Structure 1
Amino acid sequence: MSRIARCSCGRLTVRCLGEPSRISLCHCHACQRRTGSAFGIAIFFARARVAVDGVYSTFTREAESGFLVSSHFCGACGSTVWWEPARMPDWIGIAYGAFAGTELPPPDQQVHVKQRLDWIRLDIPEK
């Protein structure tokens, strides 16, 4: 199985082989800002099963865990497509929405639930 994630303009693509290892819905403030939404959803694949094609820029920040996270986005349209969490060096996180139009499993966990907005009610295990 192969899935392709794309930025909004399509110039940056990420091809992922096989099934994801984890799909995580995150309520942290950084994900809220990154997505412009109430939360972010990351699909994690093993680094060895991910191939990037296209030009991108990188923004690195310190996560709430204290580890660095490098987000990669299209220089043309600005869409964040994938990121590399330093605390999980063998994994690549890819934006769920970048797979638009692709049938994907739902998140299997939600994290940073203390920052979840009060009106959000989800039937997803908390970690």
Structure 2
Amino acid sequence: MPPATHEAQCHCGALRIRCQGDPVKVSLCHCRDCQRRTGSAFSIAAFFPRTAVSLTHGTAKRFARGSASGCDVTFFFCPDCGTNLWWEPARLPDLIGVASGAFADPAFPMPEQAVWSVDRQPWVILPEAVVEHERNPVRR
């Protein structure tokens, strides 16, 4: 059976990427930076190997900043609608994070972990299957 293909796009459809295979991990982040970036209580990212992600339509703008983990992150977003579609974390140079909601797939895998629970909104209750970390665990 051929590997799964996942298509993600921005709100207006001008920016699209294709991810080959299944994500290496799906992670929910409660940090204040992700809350500001998404305008929500958290973000959910699907991480794919860099070699599995390709831009299929459009040209992205970029924005780089530091992160709660102390490493820079470069975000790529649609210049038309502003959707933050994917990002490249310097902390994980072999992976690309993709906004899970951009797949618009109700069958997409749920997060297996939640990081930065120290910043979690008190009303957010996660499923028991999601492992919660007070900060971001070190990846080895």
Deviation at 1:101, TM superposition (A): 3.4
Deviation at 1:126, TM superposition (A): 1.0
Q: Residue type of the partner of 1:97?
A: G
2:95 aligned partner: 91
Q: Residue type of the partner of 2:59?
A: V
Could you tell me how far apart the structure 2 residues matched to 1:90 and 1:102 are?
27
Question: Which of structures 1 and 2 has the larger relative contact order (alpha carbons within 8 angstroms, sep 6+)?
Answer: 1
1:8 aligned partner: 11
Listed as ranges, the matches of 1:53-68 within 5 Å are 53=56, 54-68=58-72
Which consecutive aligned stretches of 4+ in structure 1 deviate over 4 angstroms post-superposition? none
Equivalent pairs counted in the alignment come to 127
Residue segments in structure 1 that go unaligned for 5+ positions in a row: none
Cα RMSD, aligned residues only: 0.9
Deviation at 1:66, TM superposition (A): 1.2
Residue segments in structure 2 that go unaligned for 5+ positions in a row: 134-140
2:122 aligned partner: 118
Residues 72-105 of structure 1: per-residue CA shift (max 9 Å, x gap): 0000110000000001000000001101135201
Could you tell me how far apart the structure 1 residues matched to 2:123 and 2:43 are?
16
TM-score, L = length of structure 2 = 0.88
1:27 aligned partner: 30
Of 70, 75, 78, which aligns to 1:71?
75
Residues 35-85 of structure 1: per-residue CA shift (max 9 Å, x gap): 110000000000000001311100100001111000000001100000000
Structure 1 residues 24 and 31: CA distance shift in structure 2, 3 A: same
TM-score, L = length of structure 1 = 0.97
Seq. identity, %: 49
